[in-house]
Structure 1
């Protein structure tokens, strides 16, 4: 069934044809078979329609036709109403030519093409607020088919209205040229989208594996930013929200504002601003809250204001992160240099896009896709920065662990040394007499056995002297055990002083002592050593006001390592008792010894 709009154009067709005959001829763009793509800039005329009430018949009626202006640029920024474009085409081909007119900015709300020729008006529609299946050509950007017969002349009237930036840069392609151009464009956007999806998923998996918050914030940042980009490049309106509904004009400002808020969360977590700049961290927290509010506001404000808020908040966010990055670089925060470089690329892209949206710089392929170019570089650099930061933190943790390990090893070494010293002390205590600090009976037996083995191996003479004090018991009984212990300590000291350095003095028990003397040359040598000891022990002992004196009976046995230690002690003991029987305080050599 014919729509009312089409019926209206059919009813006014005679008047339109009459208007065409009365209008002056416009300079036509000549099209031929090998014509390259033609930019609309400087080729078209434009007409502002602030109220949005002009209709095609108003433009074709000579008496009412407003003044057209030659367009030096086709980026009009944010405008009210509609913008009309007019372009006259002239075919100089010898056969029918198929052409396509593409407007490079996919976020235009509605574009209507009136293709006026001698056969009437051909109507085409496009725009992201139009359900995708109703577009004249299935493409993410506004595209229209134009067919010219040989020598035919047609005039194109384009009416564009949009709540966003009115960017009407367009190009006229031969159909086969446009198909190649379109495939290349989809390929580039697919690669860009794939890069964002891969980076987001990869860092999300890293978060699940490592439980590091920066990876989660990065994945959320990429996701929110990707939503905004889908609203900008037309892929969202083609594949995800193709019904031309309320969300179509909200995806871009909401996604970018949400990405700005999450980006500050990422910056705070990545740079650890609470540590490196605690005062600035409080301001960043406040800015995050404000940007979150801006993201919600884009769902409620008029679209034009939401887009303007997006541009302003995006730039403010980039400035905040740049200042934060500079401060953290100066303070040496891990990964801050790469972080700063990444945000510089995004700031450059966002600045170019914002300036283009406000019509302050020319609109071209670079400025139109500046955000995507900058964001792609930024995402890659941030991913590298995350890896660098993780490696740096890992290195720092390893250094801390190594430092702790060294401290632990040092403490273990100290404790081991202390334990060894304690063991030595315990061993020494186990082998020493607690009172006199001389070797005890256990140590005596061990040392004597070793001395016997050495004497036998070296064919040397070994002397074992058993010393029993004379007159000690009366001192002990009269003055008490405490004084007796002091006497024993003094006797042990004198025994060490009188013995040779190689001799081993030991306490056998009570007031009995043993001296092991190795490398004795003869019996006379042994007697000489014993007499020196006897003299040293017999000297008076001064203990406070007391002057005490004890003697000693010494029994000596000589051996060349043929007897056991027990036998030698028994023989020395017998010689000592012989000395006591002979009158005490003397030396007696065991008569059974073969004298050297």
Structure 2
């Protein structure tokens, strides 16, 4: 077990036969020494179990050498013991690494050179930056779980070209491959990051070798996960990325619609900037190689520098349009044009030069562009350019994110969740702020332009303004007249009460409410008695005065939910909702009759009128509105035939 756990090379042997011999000697000598220590073996004539003292000394020396060698191996590379109860395990403390500058080493050669591995614990992290070297990682682990356990090794940086896992054990060497230049269907496990499966039996010991190479930043931070725990962790990561790209898609779509409506150049530049930046981020986090270009292979490596470099170019063009530098800061605008041209050339170069140089060029162009645009924003803030403040905040967020990512790519700062995802975090804040700034800046610029135009054209357009004012007055008067006509269409012109049209509309709604509430709807039809005599004796003006007075009394008498309408002539309607019993309406009608009978002043004299009142009821279903009105009319005429001045409830 000791030989398997720490490697044959650690004991200075090269083949399995020698290993077996040494292991047998080690076992025999260990058991002999143990027996001697327990006093279970007799010592006779300087012999131990029939062996010579010189042989016994040699065996002890061999055992000590082997134990010291094993202890040295343990000190250089601790063994990772997994018991099935751990969650995520950071592997750096247990890893040793070996550089392969030529990339020619094979697994058989690496197994023979484990003594040349260096412990990764000496390093700050496993970010080797931009390098042409191939890196080999070595890891020993042993399972103390009491049952078969499944594990996953995750390389936490998605943008790795090619990663292979060699698992060495009693059953030989098992190989798995992954990386973003490998077709997605050929990866050992389908995931945006390089992930490898590992199944350990109880007590099983394995030595793992990981071979990695990448044109980009060679970041080899890794974790060992229980299979179930990794699934939960992975799902959360995909959800966060989905939220990020969902926000980018929403912002891009929203501003594309604004461009379609306003035809403002800054909006379409913003949309193109978001799209190109999104391509770069899709490449760096592995989603692009998983979903959009799974079979693109090594060509997919160029989408990252192409997307980010193009985004830097479009960012400069967007800044020129957003801040109106050509008009407000002409000299600064010329410098921006020069840098935009250089960034465009760098974008083109990412398609032609070596991928690693393209990625380094991308980092430089992106960082310099962010600094240039931040300085541009500061200058524009000093010159009070509209929208410059929010522009500075946006590019400051992106500059911080881009700087952290670039410094991490060059291995100047350690890799972590923040530094790996710094560009995504900064870009999300930047794009949101720019989207808000677009709307604010556009509105402010429009207002400033309108004010300037009005001041410049004030004298020449004075007559036109007068004409516009007259047109506006006529339009307003026409609108008021239309409003009055609409009101008159629903009002009785003499009394101001609702007319037949308004009554019909209101009655339909009242019927629905009555049916829903399970109440009664009362229609009270009022016909004035003696009104014709007043008209004949005092004239129509006096008659109109009486109608207006009676209408006012009815309106004052009605409840808030009631409707008072004039059918025509001296006939009025009171439509009352929320009635629970008929007697209630009868009492209301008697009081209404008293109010109507009060004298009406006409100049120096006063006159009085009576009223014949007919009442009908509906539960909202039957009778319908027309029948309800007809029944009230029949009840009213029944009252008139009986001598006028009174109230009659309709009865079939």
TM-score, normalised to structure 1's length? Answer: 0.64
Partner of 2:107: 56
**Deviation larger for 50-59 or 345-354:** 50-59
- Which one of the candidate residues 120, 133, 139 is aligned to 1:70? 120
Task: Identify if the C-alpha distance between structure 1 residues 414 and 394 changes in structure 2 by more than 3 Å, giving closer, same or farther.
Answer: closer
2:432 match = 380
Asked if the contact 2:92/2:120 (under 8 Å) is kept, the reply is no
Secondary structure in 2 aligned to 1:145?
A: strand
Aligned residues: 402
Is the 8 Å Cα contact of residues 77 and 358 (structure 1) preserved in structure 2?
A: yes
**1:391 corresponds to:** 443
**Unaligned segments of structure 1, at least 5 residues:** 1-14, 417-596
**1:234 and 2:286 are equivalent in the alignment:** yes
Q: Contact 2:408 / 2:415 at 8 angstroms: preserved in 1?
A: yes
Aligned to 1:45: 96
CA displacement at 1:43 relative to structure 2: 2.4
- What secondary structure, in the 3-state scheme, does the structure 1 residue paired with 2:98 have? strand
1:86 is the counterpart of 2:104: no
Instruction: State whether structure 2 residue 217 is matched by structure 1 residue 165.
Output: yes
8 A contact 1:16–1:60 mirrored in 2: no
1:264 and 2:316 aligned: yes
Q: Partner of 1:371 in structure 2?
A: 423
Deviation at 1:231, TM superposition (A): 1.1
Are residues 1:313 and 2:365 paired? yes
Superposed CA deviations along residues 532-591 of structure 1, whole A, max 9, x for unmatched, are xxxxxxxxxxxxxxxxxxxxxxxxxxxxxxxxxxxxxxxxxxxxxxxxxxxxxxxxxxxx
| Residue 99 of structure 1 pairs with residue 147 of structure 2 | no
SS at match of 2:218: coil
Contact 1:47–1:69 (CA under 8 A) maintained in structure 2: no
**RMSD over equivalenced CA pairs, Å:** 2.4
CA distance in 2 between partners of 1:67 and 1:119 (Å): 24
Q: C-alpha separation between the residues in 1 aligned to 2:465 and 2:275?
A: 54
Change in CA separation of 1:395 and 1:19 when aligned onto 2, cut-off 3 Å: farther
Note the alpha carbon deviations across 1:232-266, whole angstroms, 9 max, x for none: 11111111111142421100000000001111000
Per-residue CA deviation, residues 241-296 of structure 1 (Å, 9 max, x unaligned), is: 11142421100000000001111000000000012210111111111111111001
Distance 1:120 1:378, change over 3 A: same
Q: Alpha-carbon deviation of 1:110?
A: 0.4
Instruction: Give the aligned partner of residue 219 of structure 1.
Output: 271
Q: Structure 2 vs 1, CA of residues 17 and 360 (structure 1 numbering), >3 Å: closer, same or farther?
A: farther
Which of the residues 398, 404, 408 maps onto 1:356? 408
User: CA 1:401–1:282 in structure 2 vs 1: closer, same or farther (change >3 Å)?
Assistant: closer
Quote the Cα distance in structure 1 between the aligned partners of 2:465 and 2:102. Answer: 89
Secondary structure at 1:54's aligned position in 2? coil
Q: Distance in 2 between matches of 1:374 and 1:414?
A: 53
> What are the Cα deviations for residues 59-85 of structure 1, in whole angstroms up to 9, with x where unaligned?
2226x8524333431000011220011
Tell me, in whole angstroms, the C-alpha distance in 2 between the residues paired with 1:413 and 1:164: 65
Structure 2 residue aligned with 1:122 = 174
Decide whether aligned partners of structure 1 residues 293 and 93 sit closer, same or farther in structure 2, where only a CA change above 3 A counts.
same
For 1:401-423, what per-residue CA distance to the aligned partner results, in whole angstroms no more than 9, with x for missing partners? 6657976786679999xxxxxxx
In 2, distance between residues paired with 1:44 and 1:370?
26
Distance verdict in 2 for CA 1:19–1:386, change over 3 Å: farther
Question: Which of residues 238, 242, 262 in structure 2 aligns to 1:186?
Answer: 238
Q: 1:181-233 CA deviation, whole Å, 9 max, x = no partner? A: 11111111111111111111211111111000000000000111111111111
Structure possessing the higher radius of gyration over alpha carbons: 1
CA change 1:398–1:145 in 2 (3 A) is: same
Query: 2:593 matched to which residue of 1?
Result: none
* Correspondence 1:430-579 to 2 at 5 A: none
| Contact 1:17–1:118 (8 Å) recurs in 2 | no
1:96-120 CA deviation, whole Å, 9 max, x = no partner?
1111111111110000000111121
Distance 1:280 1:321, change over 3 A: same
Equivalent residues of 2:96, 2:118 under 8 A apart: yes
SS across alignment from 1:255: helix
Q: Which residue of 2 aligns with 1:344?
A: 396
Distance 1:414 1:75, change over 3 A: closer
The equivalent of 1:249 in structure 2 is 301
CA-CA distance at 1:328 after TM superposition:
0.5
Please say if residues 132 and 244 of structure 1, whose CA atoms lie closer than 8 Å, have aligned partners that are also in contact. no
Q: Report the counterpart of residue 196 of structure 1 in structure 2.
A: 248
The separation in 2 between residues aligned to 1:20 and 1:59, in whole angstroms, is 18
Change (3 A) 1:252 1:413: closer
> Are positions 1:209 and 2:287 aligned together?
no
Could you say if the C-alpha distance between residues 400 and 58 of structure 1 is closer, same or farther in structure 2, counting changes exceeding 3 Å? Answer: same
Gaps of 5+ in 2: 1-13, 23-68, 469-652
SS of match in other structure, 1:77: strand
2:343 aligned partner: 291
Give the 3-state SS of the residue equivalent to 2:339 in structure 1.
helix
Counterpart position of 1:144? 196
Per the alignment, in what secondary structure is the counterpart of residue 225 of structure 2? strand
Cα distance in 2, alignment partners of residues 91 and 292 from structure 1: 54
> Using the alignment, how far apart are the partners of 1:58 and 1:229 within structure 2?
38
1:331-376 residue CA offsets vs partner (Å, 9 max, x unmatched): 1111110011000000001100110010000011110111111011
Would the alpha carbon gap of residues 53 and 18 (structure 1) be closer, same or farther in structure 2, given more than 3 Å must change? farther
- The answer to whether the Cα contact below 8 Å between 2:80 and 2:141 also exists between their aligned partners in 1 is yes
> In structure 2, what is the Cα distance between the partners aligned to 1:401 and 1:244?
55
Q: In 1, distance between residues paired with 2:115 and 2:157? A: 28
- In the aligned structure 2, how far is the partner of 1:114 from the partner of 1:17? 19
Shift of 1:397: 3.9
Question: What is the alpha-carbon distance in structure 2 between the residues aligned to residue 328 and residue 299 of structure 1?
Answer: 34
Are the counterparts in 2 of residues 16 and 57 from structure 1 also a CA contact under 8 Å?
A: no
SS in 2 for 1:253: helix
Secondary structure at 2:116's aligned position in 1?
Answer: coil
Q: Deviations over 1:468-494 (max 9, x none)?
A: xxxxxxxxxxxxxxxxxxxxxxxxxxx
